[in-house]
Structure 1
Amino acid sequence: MAVRDRLLAVFVAVLWGLNFLAIHATLGQFPPMFAGALRFALIAVPTLLFVPRPRVKLRYLLGYGLGFGTGQFAFLFVAMDLGMPTGLASLVLQSSAPFTVLLGAALLRERISGRQLAGILLAVAGMTAIAWQQAGHAALVPMLLTLLAALSWAFGNLSMRKAEPDNPLHLTLWMSVVPPLPMLALSLGFEGTAGFRSLTTLGTHAGLIGLAGLAYVVLFGTVVGSGVWTTLMRRNPASVVAPFSLLVPVVGLSASFFVLAEVPTLLEIVAAAVVIGGVLLGSLRRKPAAALDEELLPA
């Protein structure tokens, strides 16, 4: 892997790690479900106009959009809105990788190696420790919602695998066409008109910060980050590129510490290291696998 590509991989990890700060800023202005609808609508409109539809079966496109898009971000945004620490959210979401391995074995009859099973057990041990810690701070519900977000991401991964797109980036962009209407319906059902009322205060200080966060999520977190990552996956073996995604929670935890003054406990730091090690051990295979392309895309 060339030095330039290594630097680009680190750059993407930084973009995705900071993405959680941007989500935090976005939720300061918009209700969570409405924020999710906006996020995907801003990508869906230009996608419908300018990006060719990928040649995949409709059911896999819908499955990818509902899993990776609707389910993941509905649960994640609500969890963060209810108090899930920003840095820990970036870490817990990485459990999508071992979830994908388990679901692949259960639903697609994929074999699980001893290394993958050991990694999954390590990640589960780390997540259990974090859940126990969060329960002591009355934040267990946001923790569980974040795990459901990771599980939804894993279901999206299975649809992505079955779709077998010629151009993964086009499928990622077209996936954004699916979530806006379901998330808007969820917003109207659970949040009422609060989302539309939030549009009337965009000129305030909180509104401008929220818009800046939303712009970052759309432009840098999705378009730039996913575009560069897909390019790296095409130029290099997936097993070489994929480990760089484990820098995402490192950046997320560090940024939340410096910007939001979120201070993790010693137990959370140790558990985070265990989770990252488990995800790395459980996700990588001895031979490069194209399926890792979308397994490790971010929030």
Structure 2
Amino acid sequence: MNSSSTSFSTRDLVSALFVVLIWGTNFVAMKVGLRDLTPFQMGAGRYVFAVLPLILFVRPPKLPVKWVVLYGLFQGVGQFGLLFLSLRIGMSASLASVILQTQVFFTAFFGFALLHERASRALQAGLLLAAAGLVCFGMNYVQPGHAGATTAGGFALCLAAAAMWAASNIVVRRAQQATPQFDVVSFMVWCSLVPIVPFVGLSLAFDDPATRWHWTAAPFSTWIAVAYLGWMATILGYAMWTRLLKRHPVNRVAPFSLGVPVVGISTGMIVLGDVITSWQWAGITLIVASLVCTMFGGRWLDRR
């Protein structure tokens, strides 16, 4: 089967659903890990698990080192550092799984500004819906007592994490353009080595000295959560997703990502007891509608 294939095999369908399950539940794993670890300790732990033991067997990617370093900083320290801080100071797992999807629109903006890519009419409509959704989320902090379990700071940091994810997407595009034979698994493993030292440095600089070595006494559930983030969400999830993109057109694979917020919201409410306000439900509806519009609106406009 090649990239021109139009039908999913049973194996591919199971792979796609498994990735959605992994990425949707990894927000709950973050919350569990952050009960005993600081955000910077969590970041270091995630990437230690991501590189070990694979880095002993996977050769370095054949591309300029700058792309490895930039991706590791944007995706590792930027996206997940800010996301862990967001979850720590006031963001629920359920809402984080939705707000982080705005990376689609940050990517479009960065692509326009840096790569001179044009925005389609479907994307423009999706941007308007997403903006309306963010306004709804913001209304929680305008009306006292309506914010639920989130804070304005947590919301802002989660948006910043989405922007860092988008920046890492631009780095990947540039790296792929510069490398004819782009090996994603090698790239992901060696990029995961980059954030470890910055996270350790940030922990030494900003964490309370009393908590710096607290991770040695963390319960087994914390280490299961960190291992899940490193091995499952970082390496296995991205490897399976990339394999699907190599075997099928992007427009057949990308819609599965709509399932990530559904799983994230469901597991957050069931496992963690997350409470979602009416304004947040309105924001969720508009964000999901904006993603649907972006993914499928072009086909509808073409038929028109």
Q: Which amino acid aligns with 1:159?
A: V
Q: How far apart, in 2, do the equivalents of 1:241 and 1:121 lie?
A: 24
CA distance 1:30–1:190, change in 2 (3 Å): same
Equivalence for 1:82: 89
Task: Give runs of aligned pairs for residues 98-247 of structure 1, distance below 5 A.
Answer: 98-134=105-141, 136=144, 137=147, 139-164=151-176, 165=179, 166-202=182-218, 207-247=219-259
CA distance 1:194–1:47, change in 2 (3 Å): farther
Q: Which amino acid aligns with 2:294?
A: G
Q: How far apart, in 1, do the equivalents of 2:15 and 2:163 lie?
A: 28
Report the alpha carbon displacement of residue 46 of structure 1 after superposing the two structures with TM.
Answer: 2.8
**TM-score, normalised by the number of residues in structure 2:** 0.87
Report the alpha carbon displacement of residue 111 of structure 1 after superposing the two structures with TM.
Answer: 1.1
CA distance 1:259–1:239, change in 2 (3 Å): same
CA distance 1:217–1:46, change in 2 (3 Å): same
SS of match in other structure, 2:212 = helix
Q: Between the two proteins, what is the percent identity of the paired residues?
A: 34
Q: How far apart, in 1, do the equivalents of 2:188 and 2:168 lie?
A: 11
Q: How far apart, in 2, do the equivalents of 1:50 and 1:134 lie?
A: 49
Checking the alignment, whether the CA contact within 8 Å between 2:74 and 2:167 is kept in structure 1 is yes
CA distance 1:52–1:61, change in 2 (3 Å): same
SS of match in other structure, 1:178 = coil
Equivalence for 1:54: 61
Q: Could you report, residue by residue, the CA deviation over 1:229-262 in whole angstroms, capped at 9, with x for unpaired residues?
A: 1211111111110111111111011111111111
CA distance 1:194–1:55, change in 2 (3 Å): farther
Max Rg structure: 2
Instruction: Point out where structure 2 has 5 or more consecutive residues left out of the alignment.
Output: 1-6, 300-304
Instruction: Point out where structure 1 has 5 or more consecutive residues left out of the alignment.
Output: 288-299
Say which is worse superposed, 2-11 or 212-221, in terms of deviation. 2-11
Q: How far apart, in 2, do the equivalents of 1:75 and 1:240 lie?
A: 31
Q: 1:31 aligns with which of 25, 38, 42?
A: 38
Q: How far apart, in 2, do the equivalents of 1:96 and 1:158 lie?
A: 11
Equivalence for 2:23: 16
Checking the alignment, whether the CA contact within 8 Å between 1:98 and 1:279 is kept in structure 2 is no
Report the alpha carbon displacement of residue 73 of structure 1 after superposing the two structures with TM.
Answer: 0.8
Q: How far apart, in 2, do the equivalents of 1:163 and 1:284 lie?
A: 28
Q: 1:2 aligns with which of 8, 23, 39?
A: 8
**TM-score, normalised by the number of residues in structure 1:** 0.89
Checking the alignment, whether the CA contact within 8 Å between 2:107 and 2:170 is kept in structure 1 is yes
Say which is worse superposed, 263-272 or 245-254, in terms of deviation. 263-272
Q: Could you report, residue by residue, the CA deviation over 1:98-125 in whole angstroms, capped at 9, with x for unpaired residues?
A: 1000011011111111211111121121
Report the alpha carbon displacement of residue 161 of structure 1 after superposing the two structures with TM.
Answer: 0.4
Checking the alignment, whether the CA contact within 8 Å between 1:99 and 1:151 is kept in structure 2 is yes
Q: 1:249 aligns with which of 255, 261, 284?
A: 261
Checking the alignment, whether the CA contact within 8 Å between 2:21 and 2:260 is kept in structure 1 is yes
Checking the alignment, whether the CA contact within 8 Å between 1:98 and 1:282 is kept in structure 2 is no
Report the alpha carbon displacement of residue 3 of structure 1 after superposing the two structures with TM.
Answer: 4.6
Q: Which amino acid aligns with 2:131?
A: V
Q: Which amino acid aligns with 1:161?
A: R
Equivalence for 1:292: none
Checking the alignment, whether the CA contact within 8 Å between 2:49 and 2:226 is kept in structure 1 is no
